[in-house]
Amino acid sequence: MKKITNDLLKEEYFEIDHKSGLKIFVMEKPDYSGAFAMFGTRYGSVDTCFRLKGEESYTTVPEGIAHFLEHKLFESEELDAFERFAKTGANANAFTSFDRTCYIFQCADNFNENLEILLDFVKAPYFTEETVQKEQGIIGQEIRMYQDDPDWQVLFNLLRGLYKNNPVRIDIAGTVESIAEINAELLYSCYRTFYNNSNMCLAVAGNVKAEDVIAIADKVLKIEEPVAFEQIIPDEPYEVNEAYTEEKLGVDMPKFALGLKEKCEEIVPSPKKTLLYNLALEIIAGKFSPLYTRLLDEGLINTAFGKEYFFGRGFATVFFSGESRNPKKIRDEIIAELNHIKKNGILQEDFDVCLKKKYGAEIFSYNDVDDLANNLCEAWLNGYGIFDNIDLYRSITREDVEAVIREGFDVDNICLSVIK
């Protein structure tokens, strides 16, 4: 166990290489009333093709199996995990994204008991053909529900427009047809590969003690030899798959999602690149930007308008999304604003305001145990430290952001997804 400190923030956390092979992070907040824990693995919907070390051929698994596995882990031969957490008063959940699966709980008391439940059920898989078939029906209904969800469809229509080969274009839950191919044997195979302790981390923040977390890990976790595997990231052309996609669903106002596809020279963008893109987006289209004010005043957008730097293993995209009766006009206005900034640069005053806003939000995140646990886990997944951004914010210049906007934000490599 080693202590990681930041003198500027007066914050610290413990990084523990547990004997089981699990990486553990604990940020003690003794003045807080509750705690938050996240148990995550580097395994998401994009991981549909992999091979273990020493194997010649790759294993291709059905789309949606990572999400399916997340659902199944809550079950056991006796009480399922939700029933166990209900007895201790904890609020528990889980999620599968493109490149990770995480299991979480938040509680005001009984932390030790809740942590034991979390580690126990995630590390005790129980699959039978009967329970798998039952889950296929449940998740099939979930998939059909998402097919009627305009917010979900506008996103995945965009991803299919942006990407030709990368599995990020695939719905996280898969399709009704793909999950029908899942069986208990495949679930155990994926579990053994991706749920090895060496591919997971536990992040805890709140009114806890690192020694207690270690003691519970000692009690529950078995020592596991690391599992070496290789994930396939398909070759992806730089150009978008299609420039425009449209679908009709039940909406009062058309929804849009606009994506600028980025080059992926790294498997995952560096912390500095991620910070620069997020800062650039704040300057371009944040609530204090000329573009946002103009679009709002003209009635082209409402307060649902948002932006995001979206990235993962082998993919990176700049997103703008919201509601508008004229999405194509939004696209044209964003392109015009980007071209203007590329030609004329950024005002120092705009840069200073946005930098202070983002820097303040970064510091404020240390007051929220949910954010802290999530940030500790995300930092580990992406290969950096939770304090790295603080130092980066203090070194970034206006010229750095201008360079990112000029070199990225390719207005000729763009897709617009619309739900009418």
Residue 212: which CATH number?
A: 3.30.830.10
Alpha helices in 248-326 (DSSP H): 271-285, 290-297
The answer to whether residue 87 sits within a structural domain is yes
From 198, 231, 264, the end of a domain falls on 231
Mean pLDDT value of segment 372-380: 94
The pLDDT value given to residue 313: 85
Give every CB contact of residue 57 below 8 A, 6+ residues apart in sequence: 51
The answer to whether residue 284 sits within a structural domain is yes
For residue 307, the one-letter residue type is K
Residue 143 pLDDT class (50, 70, 90 cuts): very high
DSSP assigned state of 8: T
Q: What is the pTM of this model?
A: 0.94
| Sheet order of strands, 59-60 included | 59-60, 49-52, 229-231
Q: Alpha-carbon distance 120 to 95, whole Å? A: 18
DSSP assigned state of 252: S
Residues 323-349 pLDDT 10s = 999 999 999 999 999 999 999 999 999
DSSP assigned state of 198: G
Given a cut of 90, is residue 60 above it in pLDDT? yes
The answer to whether residue 238 sits within a structural domain is no
State whether 96 and 221 are in the same domain.
yes
Domain span at 401 = 244-419
Which residues are catalytic, by number?
A: 70
User: Which residue shows structure tokens 């399922």?
Assistant: 80
The pLDDT value given to residue 268: 83
Backbone angles phi, psi at 9, to 5 degrees: -80, -15
State whether 360 and 403 are in the same domain.
yes
Neighbouring C-beta atoms of residue 200, cutoff 10 Å? 27
Task: Report which of 257, 269, 352, 375 is spatially closest to residue 308, judged by C-alpha positions.
Answer: 257
Residues 77-87 pLDDT 10s = 777 899 999 99
Given a cut of 90, is residue 167 above it in pLDDT? yes
Give the containing element (helix H, strand E) for 315. strand 315-323
The residue that leads in pLDDT, 200 or 288, is 200
Instruction: Give 39's Cβ-side CA count (13 Å radius).
Output: 27
Taking the alpha carbons of 311, 325, 161, 142 in that order, is the dihedral positive or negative?
positive
Task: Report which of 230, 231, 233, 269 is spatially closest to residue 382, judged by C-alpha positions.
Answer: 269
* Angle at 103 (CA atoms; ends 101, 106), nearest 5 degrees: 145
Given a cut of 90, is residue 206 above it in pLDDT? yes
From 202, 231, 260, the end of a domain falls on 231
State whether 219 and 141 are in the same domain.
yes
The answer to whether residue 210 sits within a structural domain is yes
From 199, 231, 263, the end of a domain falls on 231
State whether 342 and 196 are in the same domain.
no
State whether 268 and 400 are in the same domain.
yes
State whether 221 and 248 are in the same domain.
no
The token pair that represents 287 in the structure block: 């609530």
The token pair that represents 140 in the structure block: 């099939």
The pLDDT value given to residue 134: 92
User: Which residue shows structure tokens 């058309």?
Assistant: 254
State whether 267 and 349 are in the same domain.
yes
Give every CB contact of residue 93 below 8 A, 6+ residues apart in sequence: 103, 104, 105
The answer to whether residue 203 sits within a structural domain is yes
The pLDDT value given to residue 234: 87
Counting every residue written for the chain, the total comes to 420
The pLDDT value given to residue 302: 95
Residue 264 pLDDT class (50, 70, 90 cuts): confident
The answer to whether residue 198 sits within a structural domain is yes
Given a cut of 90, is residue 22 above it in pLDDT? yes
Task: Report which of 384, 389, 165, 156 is spatially closest to residue 264, judged by C-alpha positions.
Answer: 165
Q: Alpha-carbon distance 233 to 77, whole Å? A: 37
Cα separations in angstroms, 318 against 235, 259, 326, 391, 392:
20, 5, 20, 24, 21
Mean pLDDT of the chain: 94
Q: Say how many Å lie between the first and final Cα of the chain, rounded.
A: 54
DSSP assigned state of 365: G
The pLDDT value given to residue 233: 84
DSSP assigned state of 222: P
Beta pairing class for 244-247 and 101-107: unpaired
State whether 214 and 331 are in the same domain.
no
The answer to whether residue 153 sits within a structural domain is yes
Q: Alpha-carbon distance 32 to 21, whole Å? A: 29
Cα separations in angstroms, 272 against 138, 252, 353:
41, 40, 19
Mean pLDDT value of segment 360-377: 93
The answer to whether residue 343 sits within a structural domain is yes
Task: Report which of 76, 248, 220 is spatially closest to residue 157, judged by C-alpha positions.
Answer: 248
Give every CB contact of residue 418 below 8 A, 6+ residues apart in sequence: 154, 244, 245, 246, 247, 254, 255, 256, 327
State whether 268 and 209 are in the same domain.
no
The pLDDT value given to residue 391: 87
For residue 62, the Cα-to-chain-centroid distance in whole angstroms is 21
State whether 391 and 258 are in the same domain.
yes
Q: Is 110 left (phi over 0), alpha (psi -120 to 50) or beta?
A: left
State whether 251 and 224 are in the same domain.
no
State whether 251 and 168 are in the same domain.
no
Mean pLDDT value of segment 172-196: 96
Given a cut of 90, is residue 76 above it in pLDDT? no
* Burial status of residue 105 (CB atoms within 10 A of its CB: 0-12, 13-18, 19 or more): buried
Q: What is the total count of domains within the chain? A: 2
